[in-house]
Amino acid sequence: MTRRYDPERRQRIIDAAIRVVGRGGIAGLSHRTVAAEADVPLGSTTYHFGSLDELLIATLRQANEGFAAVFLERGSFDGPECDIAGELARVTGEWLARDRTGVELEFELYLAALRRPALRPVAAEWSAALSALLAPYTDPVTARALVAMVDGICLQVLLTDMEYDAGYAREMFARLLPAVR
């Protein structure tokens, strides 16, 4: 039997894992469910990802890229006169306005790090990346506080089904930022 060349297989497995978790949560994730979703042999999932944690790490890393992309696509933090609080409020609102299932999935994977220590470094990558993006505009402690505020506001919106209030978010971000840069 010849082996079929399939350079995209690993990515298809990650994409399938995202769909599986999106439908049934992390509890529904297994090598078997992902293999079926990706339409690959079971051995392919275990070849590319020796454990479920390895698969979750790859999945969380890809999910993190979705949030980061919204921030980076805008290029909104450019310029010396940038309204950081306003831009953070706008970008957070744009991310929350995306497909609700996708946003919930990203947070579910992010919060899975509470029970799966192997995911913690990847979950921390998102916070570190956003803090680094904000660092040129404020001090490191305030940058971390702004990231925590983004997390908190997003969780409130997702958990309570309340409407995202950009004005409130801007005001809260502004309270954390120093008056003079």
User: pLDDT category, 1, cuts 50, 70, 90?
Assistant: very low
CATH number for 44: 1.10.10.60
pLDDT tens digits, one per residue of 28-73:
899 999 999 999 999 999 999 999 999 999 988 887 776 667 776 7
Q: Does 69 share its domain with 141?
A: yes
Q: Is the pLDDT of residue 5 over 80?
A: no
The better pLDDT of the pair 73, 181 is held by 73
- For residue 181, tell me if it sits in a domain: no
Arithmetic mean of pLDDT, 68-81: 67
* Domains identified in the chain, total number: 2
CATH number for 122: 1.10.357.10
Q: Does 45 share its domain with 122?
A: no
Q: Does 8 share its domain with 93?
A: no
Arithmetic mean of pLDDT, 106-112: 84
Amino acid code (one letter) for 124: A
User: pLDDT category, 15, cuts 50, 70, 90?
Assistant: very high
- For residue 56, tell me if it sits in a domain: no
- For residue 55, tell me if it sits in a domain: no
DSSP-derived secondary structure letter, 112:
G
pLDDT tens digits, one per residue of 126-175:
888 888 888 888 889 999 999 999 999 999 999 998 899 999 999 999 99
Give whole-number Cα distances, 36 to 13, 26, 148, 169, 180, in Å. Answer: 10, 16, 37, 42, 55
Q: Does 90 share its domain with 130?
A: yes
Q: How far apart are CA 83 and CA 173, in angstroms?
A: 10
Domain extent for 42: 1-50
Q: Does 112 share its domain with 44?
A: no
